[in-house]
């Protein structure tokens, strides 16, 4: 007897379809190829994937508002994922999401950067086994804020990775849609302008010139790190998180029980060290 599907984003064939169609619009035939792990082979007769169940579920998912049909294929909708994320936060976090945080989070998971990142990572999942689409996508969402923390630890001039925190969704969208590397380059130029007088006066100034040269070198190294990270899908997404409010980034980290446990352990360790 087939397993009863109580939540299409959590198990069974509909979960696999939702996950496969999240990265970009995908045809029913392509979804079937991924779900049944059938890859085109050159020089051999092509194996045709079974599509009847796929199209049957696509109709049901479309009707339920989980998937939308476009000219170039089916695309999973982001709002249902937000609902699942809220359920997880109810378990792992004392706070809920504010109305603004929900809108920002929806913008993030519906962005081309997150969808591209999801598409890149989801291609490596074995869909012949049962898959929890909501869990897989939620775990991807945890990565960017943690990566940004790591990058901030590497960057010497940490203020360049700080942007004004948006107080409306319009402000957030304006920041999110900008070329983040260009924005950070501008911040580095601003930092450079502050030290330029000391550089122009030359070595005769002594300590001030020496310090300015050190800052100049560190700014150049920081920019190289930023550009290097921006070449990777997860790195670019992490850099985009500089405009996500800090409170929301912390809530996103609470989506992972492992991250929550690690955070508590580190906080406890820090307090012990401070007492000594």
* pLDDT tens per residue across span 242-270: 999 998 998 898 887 666 565 566 566 66
Give the torsion through C-alpha atoms of 234, 86, 102, 262, to 10 deg: -50
- Identify whether the C-beta of residue 216 lies closer than 8 Å to the C-beta of residue 210: no
List the beta bridge partners of residue 69. 74
- Identify whether the C-beta of residue 161 lies closer than 8 Å to the C-beta of residue 145: no
Half-sphere CA count of 47, side-chain side, radius 13 A: 11
The answer to whether residue 164 scores a pLDDT higher than 70 is: yes
The answer to whether residue 26 scores a pLDDT higher than 70 is: yes
130/204: higher pLDDT? 130
- What is the value of pTM for the model shown? 0.85
Mean pLDDT (whole number) for 54-59: 95
The answer to whether residue 40 scores a pLDDT higher than 70 is: no
Q: Structural domain boundaries of the chain? A: 12-141, 152-253
């Amino acid at each position: 007897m087939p397993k009863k599907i109580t939540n299409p984003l959590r198990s069974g064939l509909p979960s696999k379809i939702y996950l496969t169609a999240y990265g970009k619009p995908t045809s029913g035939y392509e979804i079937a190829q991924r779900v049944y792990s059938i890859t085109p082979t050159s020089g051999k007769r092509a194996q045709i994937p079974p599509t009847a169940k796929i199209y049957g579920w696509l109709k049901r998912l479309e009707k339920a508002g989980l998937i939308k049909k476009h000219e170039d294929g089916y695309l999973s909708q982001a709002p249902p994922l937000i609902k699942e994320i809220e359920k997880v936060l109810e378990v792992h976090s004392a706070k809920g999401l504010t109305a603004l945080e929900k809108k920002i989070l929806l913008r993030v998971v519906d962005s081309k950067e997150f969808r591209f990142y999801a598409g890149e990572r989801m291609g490596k999942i074995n869909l012949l086994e049962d898959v929890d689409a909501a869990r897989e996508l939620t775990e991807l969402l945890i990565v960017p804020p943690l990566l940004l923390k790591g990058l901030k630890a590497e960057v010497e001039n940490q203020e360049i990775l700080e942007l004004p925190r948006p107080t409306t969704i319009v402000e957030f969208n304006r920041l999110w849609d900008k070329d983040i590397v260009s924005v950070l380059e501008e911040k580095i130029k601003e930092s450079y302008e502050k030290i330029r007088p000391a550089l122009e006066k030359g070595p005769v100034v002594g300590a001030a010139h020496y310090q300015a040269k050190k800052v100049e070198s560190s700014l150049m190294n920081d920019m190289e790190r930023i550009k290097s990270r921006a070449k990777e899908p997860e790195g670019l997404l992490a850099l985009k998180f500089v405009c996500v409010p800090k409170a929301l980034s912390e809530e996103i980290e609470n989506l992972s029980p492992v991250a929550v446990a690690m955070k508590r352990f580190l906080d406890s360790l820090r307090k012990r060290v401070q007492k000594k």
